[in-house]
Amino acid sequence: MKTVEDYIRTIPDFPHEGIMFRDVTTLFADPRGFRIAIDQLLHPYAGMQIDKVVGLEARGFILGGAIAHQLSKGFVPIRKKGKLPARTIEQAYTLEYGEAIVEIHDDALQPGERVLIVDDLLATGGTAEAGIKLCEKLGAQVVGCAFIIDLPDLGGRAKLEGMNMDVHALCAYAGE
């Protein structure tokens, strides 16, 4: 039986020499692999009250939409600054070389709603941390953060767990 990891393509030296890029588009393209990933991302949260699924730009939209559909819940995107049309709140976060800003509509979540944050990859945790902060600014409670891939050596899991977040990843690639 194939695992999620079996569907992920590795591309050496992309986008820079020495980087082993983990390409989830091959996972998304395979109906069985995609189904396995969605089911496994949901599994730890089965029976838990979740009001909305929040997806982080951009591959988190693909995963989050599928998970929200499976749960019969709404989906909320967190996008790069300037991409959402209505009033937003924003959160800056640190990148390897600089800073970026993500936004959420200021009416996307209601106080007390329980949300699951979803993305494809957990590296340094900056985007996920910013997403958590945005949800909390709107009064929502983040019940967990689910990822396909964890790169544990980059510290993202430790950062999120340090924020008392439940972190779930389907596979990990150490040493990257």
> What is the distance between the alpha carbons of residues 106 and 23, in angstroms, rounded to a whole number?
32
Instruction: Sort 136 into a burial class: Cβ within 10 Å, 0-12 / 13-18 / 19+.
Output: middle
Active-site hit among 22, 59, 114, 157: 59
Q: Is 96 a catalytic residue?
A: yes
Sign of CA dihedral 141, 76, 41, 81: negative
Return the number of other C-beta atoms located less than 10 Å from residue 125's C-beta: 25
Active-site hit among 5, 22, 79, 96: 96
Q: Which two tokens stand for residue 133?
A: 């902060």
* Residues with catalytic function: 59, 96
